[in-house]
Structure 1
Amino acid sequence: MRVLITAGPTYEPLDPVRFIGNHSTGKMGYALAEAFAASGAAVTLISGPSNLPDPAHPGIQTQRVETADQMYAAAAAVAPEAGVWVFAAAVADYKPAQIAAEKIKKSGDTLTLELVKNVDIAATLGKTKRPEQFSVGFALETNNEHAHALDKLHRKNFDLVVLNSLRDAGAGFRHDTNKVTLLDAQGQTRIFEVKPKAEVAQDIVDAVLARLPREV
């Protein structure tokens, strides 16, 4: 079984010094890579900027990228041959319309930036997903969590969505623990308690393996 996993943030440069990013560390995606590899899968881990070392498991091939465009290109190259896709990266929704060639100098009291929408990696690849392929998405929400997660599941052609809520202590970015709810395309929902991300990853892998078509 071949598995594609995206992890970490993306950094969208403003100039040679500054960028737009987020607080994702990549811990959840890296833990998923380890758990899938331990199950016998061949894993391609496409990681945005992260301080985490490349996983040591021989079944994991790590590709480092920086921007959403680079992550999309890397994922699109692997996706056709992968039976399972896991979109755990926190991809920046927008990027600067123009990247300054030189450092932007401080001038005046305000700075106005024009941003343009980034490629939606999961949604774009979701349009190409074959029936035997299985796609997992992540939803980090602050309100109407269930409704937003279900909308994302249908809109991006996911088979399973991992819902995180910033309302839950110990969940989300910068934690070694997480609290997730799994929602699948058949309408099933399962809520887990706060636990280490390695254990959360195993719960997700178990849920995926239980739902896979036999030919994956």
Structure 2
Amino acid sequence: MKKLKVLITAGSTYIPIDSVRVITNIFKGRLGIEIAKEFVESGAEVKLLLGNSDIEIEESFKKGLNIVRYKYYDDLYSLVLREIKNDYDVVIHSSAVSDYKLADYKEGKIKSGQPELVLHLVPTEKIVDLFKKADASIFLIMFKLEVDKNREELLEVAKKSKDRANADVIVANDFREMKNNHRVYIVYERGVKEVAGKTNIAKELIKIVYDKFGE
């Protein structure tokens, strides 16, 4: 079997409010980094697009890992458009991507001292939708995060997202479970697997990928 070529996205994105302020989220890309490390250990050729994260990656993994950093949503969008031309076998899109951006962004600094500040936000384009549109042969693993959903509700939302993006696998998780042992539901062609713990999640995704590619 040939050496798999894998693209992984991880970490959060910034959306600028003005030249000095941003909207972002709390995620640092821990699971995406763990997945990248497991793929490196498996012998795959791995590129990691890593957003706003202060997590240290061990030097032993850096040698086998091509890391490209980004900060803003637009940065990640541009990187993805570039990378999807490079014939990846597998894409694992775990970035915590901003869902909204300013409708009327202007450079400079919004004046302080205002009694009220209202920001007009509009939806961003779904980056996960770019992969299969560009290359239908990519084996796409995506993630879905919800808050305060039970198992049935979470799986219902996840399956709809999976179908919309034409993904092969979706990892569904609820924010409450991330605080404990990070339990997720992996939805793929053979059904649903419940897995807990970041390392176990990464290893299960490795297994699904290599089962697909015949090793």
State the TM-score bracket (shorter-chain normalisation). Answer: 0.7 to 0.9
Amino acid at match of 2:163: H
| Deviates further, 3-12 or 135-144 | 135-144
Q: Give the match for residue 140 of structure 1.
A: 145
- CA-CA distance at 1:108 after TM superposition: 3.2
Find out whether 1:67 has 2:72 as its counterpart: yes
Give the share of equivalent positions with the same residue, in percent. Answer: 29
Q: Give the match for residue 129 of structure 2.
A: 123
Q: Deviations over 1:66-92 (max 9, x none)?
A: 122211211222223210000000100
- CA-CA distance at 1:115 after TM superposition: 1.6
| Deviates further, 109-118 or 57-66 | 109-118
| Deviates further, 19-28 or 117-126 | 117-126
Distance (whole Å) between structure 2 residues aligned to residue 169 and residue 136 of structure 1:
19
Distance (whole Å) between structure 2 residues aligned to residue 55 and residue 4 of structure 1:
19
Q: Give the match for residue 13 of structure 1.
A: 16
Distance (whole Å) between structure 1 residues aligned to residue 43 and residue 84 of structure 2:
18
Consecutive unaligned residues of structure 2, counting only runs of 5 or more, are none
Distance (whole Å) between structure 1 residues aligned to residue 133 and residue 24 of structure 2:
26
- CA-CA distance at 1:203 after TM superposition: 1.8
Contact 1:79 1:85 in 2 (8 A): no
The structure with more helix, counted as a fraction of residues: 2
Q: Deviations over 1:73-132 (max 9, x none)?
A: 11222223210000000100111123342221224332111222222111122222323x
- CA-CA distance at 1:138 after TM superposition: 0.3
Q: Give the match for residue 171 of structure 2.
A: 162
Q: Give the match for residue 41 of structure 2.
A: 38
Contact 1:4 1:75 in 2 (8 A): no
Contact 1:88 1:137 in 2 (8 A): yes
Consecutive unaligned residues of structure 1, counting only runs of 5 or more, are 172-176
Contact 1:42 1:59 in 2 (8 A): yes
Q: How does 1:100-115 map to 2 (within 5 A)?
A: 100-115=106-121
Amino acid at match of 2:167: F
Amino acid at match of 2:13: T
Contact 2:25 2:96 in 1 (8 A): yes
Over 3 Å counting, the alpha-carbon distance change for 1:55 and 1:123 in structure 2 is: farther
Q: Give the match for residue 210 of structure 2.
A: 209
Q: Give 3-state SS (helix, strand or coil) of 1:90's partner.
A: coil
Amino acid at match of 2:154: E
Q: Give the match for residue 159 of structure 2.
A: 150
Contact 1:43 1:60 in 2 (8 A): yes
Q: Give the match for residue 53 of structure 1.
A: 56
Give the ranges of 4+ consecutive aligned residues of structure 1 lying more than 4 Å apart after TM superposition: none
Distance (whole Å) between structure 1 residues aligned to residue 165 and residue 114 of structure 2:
42
Q: Give 3-state SS (helix, strand or coil) of 1:168's partner.
A: helix
Amino acid at match of 1:67: Y
Q: Give the match for residue 84 of structure 2.
A: 79
Q: Give the match for residue 178 of structure 1.
A: 182
Q: TM-score, normalised by structure 1?
A: 0.87
